[in-house]
Copies of this chain bind each other. A is one copy, B any other.
Amino acid sequence: MTLLISAERLRGFIATAYCAVGISEGDARRIAQLQTEADLRGADGHGVFRLPQYIRRIKAGGVKIAPNIQIVRETAAMALVDGDNGMGHLVMSFAAHTAIAKATQAGVAWVGVRMSNHAGPASLYASMPLEAGMIGLYLAVGNANHLAPWGGIELLLSTNPIAVAVPAKSEPPIVLDMATTTAAYGKVKTAAQRGESMPEGWMIDMQGRPLTDPKRADEGMLLPLGGMEAGYKGYGLSLVIGLLAGTLNRAAMGRDVVDFNKNDGAVTNTGHAIVAIDPAAFGDAGHFKDEVDRLIRDLRASRRLPGVERVWLPGEQSQAKRIDRAKNGIPVPEALLAGLNKLASELGLERLA
């Protein structure tokens, strides 16, 4: 049985949990707002689902409750933010707002981040510049290595995601959010929980054979985007995203990436990068948004392959989910609810439901 919980209730529950482990009320609310936003958008593996793990990491000393998040290098067009091992949501909010403020003057701003933590779905941060009418581009180093270099079998790379958000006028914004592997690791975990097998193309074992049993995920690795035919492209994308979001900022990359699922107390030194681009710097912003609308409509109106009901734009399904869940509530499966109620009891809080 899956319960539907209102966004408001969920936000309140999450905020109370963070307060209970010592995070200030303002910060707790900010994290709760973003984590709930992940659930609203349908990024179920990045919302309240992560709460028990985040709280465990805070209690184990893996994440600081009162970080001194600050800019350590800057010009008019860039900044390097040190997150002081705070919650990724706080660090990335700071970084995104720094990028937006700088882009207001400079037209474009690039902000690198180190000493951060897992921050939820990439689309959350790429979308922040939308509110200022800007384009957002977000890159991150994933928090566990499940990918090998092309032809290799050592797990030296992660699913390093890229997200890009582009404002439109009457149409919803275009919001691409993708891991650079065929499937994100969360999909493997979900298949394992459900007792389902994975399609060929998601993972291979250390001999290069298709691995379709998600319970054997530890014996294999994810295939990079492009699969057996063109996986060297996904490998290359993961690598350059890691260099830009990690190495450039002196954040963890490659061999230094900590598997945050396996070690609650370790500092992850997670790296991200966020770029804000103001269309007004390039010309008339209204005209730009009109052109984005026109492109969206052209793509949506395309004739379709047999059996295809609709052509979707990146982010459109997530947008539809957000409208539905804001109205009807966020589905919380029984097992997750039990885990959250257990957490509440440990922290001396009221049950979620």
Contacts and interface: CB of A to CB of B under 8 A. Distances in A.
B312 A151 contact: yes
- Looking at chain A, what size class is its interface with the partner chain? 35 or more
A283 B72 CA distance: 10
Interface string A264-301: 00000000000101010111000110011011001110
A305 B78 contact: no
A305 B208 contact: yes
A236 interface: yes
A150 interface: yes
Contacts of A157: 299
A100 interface: no
Given A108-B110, A152-B308, A176-B236, A248 B135 contact: yes
A142 to B, nearest CB: 15
Contacts of A9: none
Contact of A254 (B109, B137, B298): B298
Nearest to A301: B154
A250 B294 CA distance: 13
Copies of this chain, count: 2
B225 A151 contact: no
Nearest to A302: B152
B305 A152 contact: yes
A326 interface: no
Interface in A156-181: 156-157, 162, 164, 166, 174, 176, 178
Given A77-B107, A106-B78, A243-B292, A153 B304 contact: yes
Interface of A: 73, 75-78, 80, 105-110, 112, 135, 137, 148-154, 156-157, 162, 164, 166, 174, 176, 178, 182-183, 199, 201-202, 206-208, 225-227, 229-230, 232-237, 239-240, 243-244, 247-250, 253-255, 275, 277, 279, 281-283, 287-288, 291-292, 294-295, 298-300, 302-308, 310-314
Contacts of A253: 291, 295
Contacts of A202: 229
B254 A229 contact: no
17 contacts: A73-B283, A77-B107, A78-B281, A108-B108, A135-B244, A149-B311, A152-B302, A154-B303, A176-B239, A206-B305, A207-B305, A227-B229, A235-B314, A247-B291, A248-B282, A255-B295, A255-B298
10 residue pairs, one from A and one from B, having the closest CB atoms: A77-B77, A152-B302, A77-B106, A151-B308, A154-B302, A176-B236, A164-B240, A108-B110, A236-B314, A78-B107
